[in-house]
């Protein structure tokens, strides 16, 4: 079967070094096996995203030589599609309205196993119709989760396990303002596009069990997962969007794309020297076993 991968950037800022690294590995994994790459703009949050930034992302990917075979519809245009999947969850009797406020959520619920959010205790699961009617605000909608252990066999992180009931709780699929959340949108979009492998930063590892659960409910097969390590500066700090000098707006002034790819490929263990190299050349030497599993330290001169 031909692999199908994707870039799923959020156009809320310029492409950052961490995005470049995850995008590079996603592209190499697919292209080293002659597969197809999809681009999708994750612009559900219309306040923080813009078409102009989406265009810059396309230009940055093109500059890097990380090409895509087709671009699918941006998430902001797909609420009608998400409605259909939401209705399917309703038909399965798996949804309920939640009226908890943000501060209640953080004070009542225990912290989440791995990502610092909370485990939802099910406060609104069994409200009666009369109790629901007494609230004068629009609810968010949560999907009920089963007491079941989910196992992610991650290409980078090895085995990751989570029981959604005890480690996450029923989770929101549609916000009170009607906007669908990332977990639902990403599952629908990857599933409909026939994505067979999801490669992204390891800050999203704990999202995989939620997405696997929704994939089962929607009748999609599970993709392979590869959650790539975070990039660290040599002084041990995790590089983030806040490091403005590491976004492509700045880096493109300083170096050629092949130099940047060469530094990243060397830092993650793919090549022996940090020499300039094109994405196409890297595809001929790529293999998952070469990529370092631990944090990756980077010096940019």
Instruction: CB nearer to ligand GLU: give 9 or 209.
Output: 9
Give the nearest distance from C-beta 117 to ligand GLU in angstroms: 15
Q: Which is nearer to ligand GLU, 6 or 142 (CB)?
A: 6
Nearer to ligand GLU, 8 or 164 (CB): 8
46 or 166: CB nearest ligand GLU: 46
Closer to ligand GLU by Cβ: residue 5 or 262: 5
Least separation in angstroms between residue 133's CB and ligand GLU is 37
| Cβ(37)–Cβ(6) below 8 Å | yes
Residue 171 Cβ vs ligand GLU, minimum distance, rounded to whole Å = 15
C-alpha to C-alpha distance for 286 and 71, rounded to whole angstroms: 24
Q: Nearest to residue 94, comparing CAs of 165, 170, 150, 40?
A: 170
The nearest distance, CB 269 to ligand GLU, in angstroms, is 22
Q: How far, in Å, CA of 279 to CA of 261, rounded?
A: 7
Which one-letter DSSP state was computed for residue 181?
Answer: P
- For ligand GLU, the binding residues (CB under 6 A) are 8-10, 42, 186, 200, 204
End-to-end CA, the chain:
41
Q: Mapping DSSP to helix (H, G, I), strand (E, B) and coil, where does residue 27 land?
A: helix
How many Cα neighbours within 13 Å face the side chain of 266?
A: 15
Shortest distance, CB of residue 128 to ligand GLU, whole angstroms?
A: 37
For residues 236-274, b (16+ Cβ closer than 10 Å) or e, as one string? Answer: eeebeeebeebbbeebbeeeebbbbbbbbbbbbebbeee
């Amino acid at each position: 079967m031909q692999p199908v991968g994707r870039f799923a950037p959020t156009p809320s800022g310029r492409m950052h070094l961490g995005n470049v690294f995850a995008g590079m590995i996603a592209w190499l994994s697919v292209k080293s096996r002659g597969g197809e790459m999809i681009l999708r703009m994750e612009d559900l949050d219309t306040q923080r995203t813009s078409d102009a930034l989406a265009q810059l992302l396309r230009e940055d990917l093109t500059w890097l030589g990380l090409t895509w075979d087709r671009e699918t519809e941006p998430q902001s245009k797909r609420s009608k599609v998400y409605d259909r999947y939401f209705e399917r969850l309703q038909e399965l009797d798996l949804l309920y309205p939640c009226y908890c406020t943000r501060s209640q959520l953080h004070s009542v619920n225990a912290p989440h196993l791995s990502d610092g959010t909370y485990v939802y205790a099910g406060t609104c699961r069994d409200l009666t119709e009369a109790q629901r009617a007494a609230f004068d605000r629009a609810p968010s909608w949560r999907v009920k989760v089963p007491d079941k252990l989910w196992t992610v066999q991650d290409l980078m992180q090895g085995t990751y396990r989570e029981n959604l009931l005890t480690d996450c709780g029923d989770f929101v699929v549609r916000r009170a303002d009607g906007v669908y959340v990332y977990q639902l949108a990403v599952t629908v979009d990857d599933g409909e596009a026939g994505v067979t492998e999801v490669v992204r930063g390891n800050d999203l590892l704990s999202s995989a069990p939620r997405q696997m659960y929704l994939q089962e409910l929607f009748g999609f097969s599970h993709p392979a997962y590869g959650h790539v390590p975070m990039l660290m500066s040599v002084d041990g700090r995790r590089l983030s969007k806040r490091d403005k000098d590491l976004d492509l707006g700045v880096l493109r002034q300083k170096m050629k794309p092949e130099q940047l790819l060469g530094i990243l490929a060397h830092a993650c263990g793919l090549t022996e020297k940090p020499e300039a190299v094109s994405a196409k050349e890297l595809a001929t030497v790529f293999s998952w076993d070469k990529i370092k599993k631990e944090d990756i330290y980077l010096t940019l001169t």
